[in-house]
Structure 1
Amino acid sequence: MMQSRTLGDIKITRILEYAGPTHDPAFLFPDLDRSVLDANVDLMAPHHWIPHMNKLIVTIQFWIVHAGDKVVVVDTGVGNFKPRAGIARMHMLNTLVREWMIAAGAAPEQVTHVVMTHLHADHVGWNTTWQDGRWAPTFPNARYYIPKDDFVFCDAGRNKEPGVVDVFGEAFFDSVMPVVKEGLAEMIVPGQEIAGCLQVEPAAGHSPGQVAFRVRSRGEEAVFCGDILHSPLQIVRPDVNSGYCIRPDLARTTRLALLNQAADSEALVLPVHFGQPHCGYIRREGQGFLFEPATW
């Protein structure tokens, strides 16, 4: 499914890969007490948490930016037919994502830029598709922009070190390295601009090299924030990390910085994993923050 909105002269489209009540809160947020969810039931239920199941609704989605003659894909989900035996819900998917992208005016050959907030398996999958017995770049005319510090971390095998939760996995080899070997990849660091519209900003913590992408047009602003936030709960409780945050203290610092910046700039926040309506605004309440869902 897809939904679109405008930001000044820019069109932003959401592509849904899948969504559902998939995660026990104790798994995704291992330091979270159930009482915190109960205290925030009006925020969380029914679009982000199903109380009687005690399951968090987690969405896999990504974003398409049409800016002039540029067609930019921001993160690329899980992908089709990717072997992910350790995560059953991601294993060998067969979805209509390609068809929805074509419907949205972003057929593979039309895409000019692919940007990744980080290299976890659920953010890079559609970089490649299985063609002629190999994992080939899905977007043959695009440049692929890869956060340098994440790439270095995985290329050195540090994601496989003892004590590190490996959420990169085989995706690094079937969804990242093929585009590097094809000569289509560029390494990025904060401070760069991509496609004349996306500012690369630091967002490390969840992964060593995670970045965010800020876009501005005609006085309006939005930020593609990757996994700085997994859930609206982290807006009212920015101290809460996911169990996948490799550098926990830095992840908290990054999250608080995003919330302050988004509240001050009134930027539309575009995460990857929020339930309906999947994006929104950060508002201040006293010394803390509130989530204001956006409308489509």
Structure 2
Amino acid sequence: MNTESAQRMVLGDVEVIRVVEWQGPFGPARGIVPGAGAEVWKDNEEWLAPDHWAPDSDSAVMALQSWVLRSGGRTVLVDTGVGDGRERPDSPHFHRRQDDFLGRLERAGIRPEDVDVVVNTHLHTDHVGWNTRDVAGEWVPTFPNAEYLVPAADDFHYGPRNGYGNGLQEEDRLVYEESVAPVHRAGQVRLWDGAHRIDGNLTLEAAPGHTPGSAVLRLASGGDRAVFVGDLLHSPVQILEPACASCFCLDPGGAAVSRRRILERAADERELVVPAHFGGAGAAEVRREGKGFGLVRWAAYGTEVRR
């Protein structure tokens, strides 16, 4: 896929624009999804490769991407990627990155000042990086006119009240202090818990497990449905075997419960499933199949957005 352009689809009255920051092999497939055995990948090689699995290196292929939703006259940005110039020595893919993410947004017709709402599905480093940018040595909100919707449970867990994720990783403190605290100081954060309606088309819903406050964003407009699931899914093999958590889940069992619940509803209501890290088409329609789920089709986009 051409990551120098954005892709577009329309669901009901909502325009959906996909902006990719990076895509490629990320790490050992069975390291990313430890519970999925080699046979799951090999038996499904025909559709997993090359967009989701690189068989030669046995690597999971993933994407870093954000989604822009134009809904009800407002612009909603879902997750903000890694950001530039961040010290992330324990995360090689994220360490000191330099990407033209804001340029890609602008080429898709979105300037920082145009964004009305920023949704952080959770507070991991690759979902909050562009919440802020460095201006004269100070981290300030990238989107000056936006309300940032942050799950209260994650804000507590990763913030100072809970010792920056119980102090288990220095990276958690860096992420919060660089990408979340400055937005708090600017008065642009709204904490929410349980559920939160953004407008008549968009609703946030708690789906804990990956992190304490992990959330999904539901879109319902006209006859179209979609669910932006964040990191409930890192690889399509988790659609086939929803009990398998990723290596990044803080509560694997809780994540599995949330994942099955979300996939069941998606299958029953024909919601397009839109994960944060799927390469290729980046989204899929699913169906119930045996003890798990199967794919009906990948997302179809209109013309690429070039403005």
- Give TM class, smaller chain: over 0.9
Per the alignment, do residues 161 and 209 of structure 1 end up closer, same or farther by CA in structure 2, a change over 3 Å counting? same
Kindly report which structure 2 residues correspond to 1:30-179, keeping only aligned pairs within 5 A, or say none: 30-155=34-159, 156-157=162-163, 159-161=165-167, 168-179=172-183
Q: Distance in 2 between matches of 1:170 and 1:43?
A: 38
Q: Would you say how many aligned residue pairs link Structure 1 and Structure 2?
A: 294
SS in 1 for 2:220: strand
- Kept in 1, the 8 Å contact 2:132–2:178? The answer is yes
Q: CA RMSD in A?
A: 1.6
Q: What TM-score do you get using the length of structure 2 for normalisation? A: 0.92
Shift of 1:256: 0.4
- Kept in 2, the 8 Å contact 1:189–1:200? The answer is no
Q: Does residue 295 in structure 1 map to residue 300 in structure 2? A: yes
Q: What TM-score do you get using the length of structure 1 for normalisation? A: 0.95
Match of 1:275 in 2: 279
Which runs of no fewer than 5 residues in structure 2 stay unpaired?
A: 302-307
Q: Does residue 15 in structure 1 map to residue 19 in structure 2? A: yes
Q: Distance in 1 between matches of 2:298 and 2:243?
A: 21
Q: Distance in 1 between matches of 2:206 and 2:57?
A: 36
Shift of 1:9: 1.1
* Identical residues among aligned pairs (%): 37
Which runs of no fewer than 5 residues in structure 1 stay unpaired?
A: none
SS in 2 for 1:94: coil
Per the alignment, do residues 250 and 193 of structure 1 end up closer, same or farther by CA in structure 2, a change over 3 Å counting? same
Shift of 1:54: 0.6
Q: Distance in 2 between matches of 1:158 and 1:103?
A: 36
SS in 2 for 1:275: coil
Letter in 2 for 1:181: R
Q: Distance in 1 between matches of 2:15 and 2:209?
A: 29
- Kept in 2, the 8 Å contact 1:64–1:73? The answer is yes
Q: Distance in 2 between matches of 1:281 and 1:293?
A: 6
Shift of 1:161: 4.5
